[in-house]
């Protein structure tokens, strides 16, 4: 009869009882020792929520690895809190030790100097978290490499900060304040009574309000307002402000009837009214316009939105003013900026990207090139003129030295344009 090796039975391998017991115990031990992640609420109200993700059980100094393990937990928690609109920021607490092990300290590293980032429906939250992590790692590297003597031992926890995001948006008609009216710098289209009689009747029918052909428009408005307040208020002041710029009226420029014939010229598909600041660029792209939005506050002008294509391509430019949630067209920027420029005896020409003022088109055009480079995060390099040569003239001042070293470290780098990560090429 054919003999079989010990511990086997037919084609099926049979382990000794003692070995099976060992494997089972090892699995139980590993399951018990799996790192524990704790979520700890730090602060919470209807506008703010802060919580910690405690990862000390990992006992790891690899921030990328630790964050990868808890990324799904963080993202799930973020979307559970404060509804749809929110701003987000992340920090981490790290533990440092001295090489001899006698001293230890814990410090927070984060993007506290950076504004919280808005989370929109199309925001890649994981990519945003990783980008902020890179900034924190850079700070830690600088700290440990500048002679502090501290060595990163482990990542203790992550701090997640959430803030409710209520975007600015334009709405119904607001009367022009005296401080703006005297400047004669803006066109404020009165859209307070923009609904036609037929539109009002249709709305009354939808609300189940009884009326007949003898019911006046004024009476219908009263009935609708009593049933559902603010229903008749027109929310399209953004559109009327844009049209007042594209089709300037020679008289009665504040009348809505001057612009309603041109309403169909603008493509507003996918745009909800009142228009949010975050939707301005989308509207501008659809209609091949450059739209900038400014805010009137404390008798001065502030920038709310600058079109990303400003001064780069030749398209009609529309400058809008947002005042108490209502959009107006800025017809004369120089008049609106008079108080700010008169204090410094500045000129009447204004850069729309930074609101600096200039006395001539030449100086403004020179500034635009620098301003574009600054806002795009580029280094403006001014190349010398062609055939320009720098010569040593004072030869008599030359002194002989024993040794001369010419070094250019960039000259020994091989050209390699392979991307290392999203932000770095070598």
Helix residue spans in 230-319 (DSSP H) = 237-246, 280-286
Do residues 200 and 333 share a domain? Answer: yes
Alpha-carbon distance of 331 to 257, in angstroms, equals: 19
Tally of domains in the chain: 2
Within-domain flag for 272: yes
3-state secondary structure of 182: coil
| Final residue before a domain boundary, out of 343, 359, 379 | 343
pLDDT at 418: 53
Do residues 320 and 206 share a domain? Answer: yes
- Non-local CB neighbours of 400 within 8 Å, separated by 6+ positions: none
Tell me if 282 sits within 8 A of 271, measured CB to CB.
Answer: yes
- Least confident residue range of 225-229, 247-251, 261-265: 225-229
Do residues 159 and 57 share a domain? Answer: yes
CATH number, domain of 90, equals 3.30.1490
Domain that holds residue 55: 38-164
pTM of the model: 0.48
Do residues 206 and 133 share a domain? Answer: no
Do residues 152 and 233 share a domain? Answer: no
pLDDT at 75: 87
Do residues 243 and 334 share a domain? Answer: yes
3-state secondary structure of 101: coil
- The pLDDT tens digits for 269-305 are 888 888 888 889 999 999 999 999 988 877 777 888 8
Do residues 130 and 69 share a domain? Answer: yes
**pLDDT of residue 171 exceeding 60:** no
Residue percentage of the chain with pLDDT more than 70: 75
Sign of CA dihedral 273, 278, 281, 286: negative
pLDDT at 6: 42
- The pLDDT tens digits for 327-386 are 999 998 888 877 665 554 445 788 888 778 788 888 888 888 777 766 554 555 566 777
pLDDT at 11: 45
Between 100 and 112, the more confident residue is 100
Within-domain flag for 218: yes
- The pLDDT tens digits for 133-149 are 888 888 888 888 777 77
| Final residue before a domain boundary, out of 139, 164, 189 | 164
Within-domain flag for 12: no
- How sure is the predictor about 245, in pLDDT bands with cuts at 50, 70 and 90? very high
Do residues 155 and 202 share a domain? Answer: no
Residue percentage of the chain with pLDDT more than 90: 13
Whether the ω angle into residue 192 lies within 30 degrees of 0, i.e. cis, is no
Do residues 146 and 249 share a domain? Answer: no
Do residues 238 and 90 share a domain? Answer: no
3-state secondary structure of 234: coil
Within-domain flag for 206: yes
Do residues 258 and 197 share a domain? Answer: yes
- How sure is the predictor about 425, in pLDDT bands with cuts at 50, 70 and 90? very low
Tell me if 299 sits within 8 A of 179, measured CB to CB.
Answer: yes
The Cα-based distances of 418 to 203, 289, 396, 414, 425 in angstroms read 61, 37, 49, 11, 6
Backbone angles phi, psi at 238, to 5 degrees: -60, -45
Residue 311 region, left (φ>0) first, then alpha (ψ -120 to 50), else beta? left
Do residues 306 and 264 share a domain? Answer: yes
């Amino acid at each position: 009869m054919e003999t079989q090796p010990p511990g086997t039975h037919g084609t099926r391998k049979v382990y000794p009882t003692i070995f099976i017991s060992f494997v089972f115990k090892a699995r139980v031990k590993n399951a018990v020792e799996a790192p524990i992640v704790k979520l700890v609420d730090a602060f919470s109200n209807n506008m703010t929520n802060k919580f910690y993700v405690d990862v000390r059980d990992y006992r790891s100094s690899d921030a990328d690895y630790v964050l990868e393990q808890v990324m799904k937990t963080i993202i799930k928690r973020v979307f559970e809190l404060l509804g749809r609109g929110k701003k987000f920021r992340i920090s981490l607490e790290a533990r440092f030790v001295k090489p001899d092990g006698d001293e230890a300290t814990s410090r927070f590293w984060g993007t506290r100097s950076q504004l919280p980032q808005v989370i929109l429906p199309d925001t890649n939250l994981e990519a945003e978290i990783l980008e902020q992590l890179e900034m924190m790692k850079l700070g830690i590297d600088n700290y440990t490499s500048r002679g502090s003597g501290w060595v990163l031992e482990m990542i203790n926890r992550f701090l997640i900060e959430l803030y409710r995001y209520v975007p600015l948006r334009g709405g119904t008609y607001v009367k022009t304040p005296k401080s703006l009216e005297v400047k004669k710098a803006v066109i404020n289209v009165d859209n307070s009574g923009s609904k036609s009689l037929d539109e009002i009747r249709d709305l009354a029918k939808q609300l189940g309000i009884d009326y007949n052909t003898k019911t006046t428009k004024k009476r219908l408005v009263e009935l609708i307002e009593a049933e559902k307040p603010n229903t008749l208020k027109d929310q399209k002041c953004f559109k009327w402000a844009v049209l007042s710029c594209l089709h300037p009226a020679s008289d009665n420029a504040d009348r809505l009837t001057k612009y309603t014939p041109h309403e169909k010229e603008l493509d507003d598909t996918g745009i909800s009214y009142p228009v949010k600041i975050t939707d301005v660029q989308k509207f501008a792209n659809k209609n091949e316009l450059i739209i900038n939005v400014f805010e009137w506050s404390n008798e001065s002008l502030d920038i709310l939105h600058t079109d990303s294509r400003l001064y780069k391509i030749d398209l009609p430019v529309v400058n809008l003013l947002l005042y108490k949630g209502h959009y107006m067209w800025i017809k004369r920027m120089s008049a609106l900026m008079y108080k700010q420029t008169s204090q410094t005896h500045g000129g009447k020409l204004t850069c729309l990207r930074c609101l600096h003022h200039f006395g001539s088109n030449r100086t403004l055009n020179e500034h635009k090139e620098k301003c574009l480079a600054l806002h795009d995060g580029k280094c403006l390099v001014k190349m010398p003129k062609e055939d320009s040569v720098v010569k040593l003239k004072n030869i008599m001042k030359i002194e002989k030295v024993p040794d001369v070293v010419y070094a250019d470290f960039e000259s020994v780098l091989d050209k390699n344009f392979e991307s290392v990560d999203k932000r770095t090429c070598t």
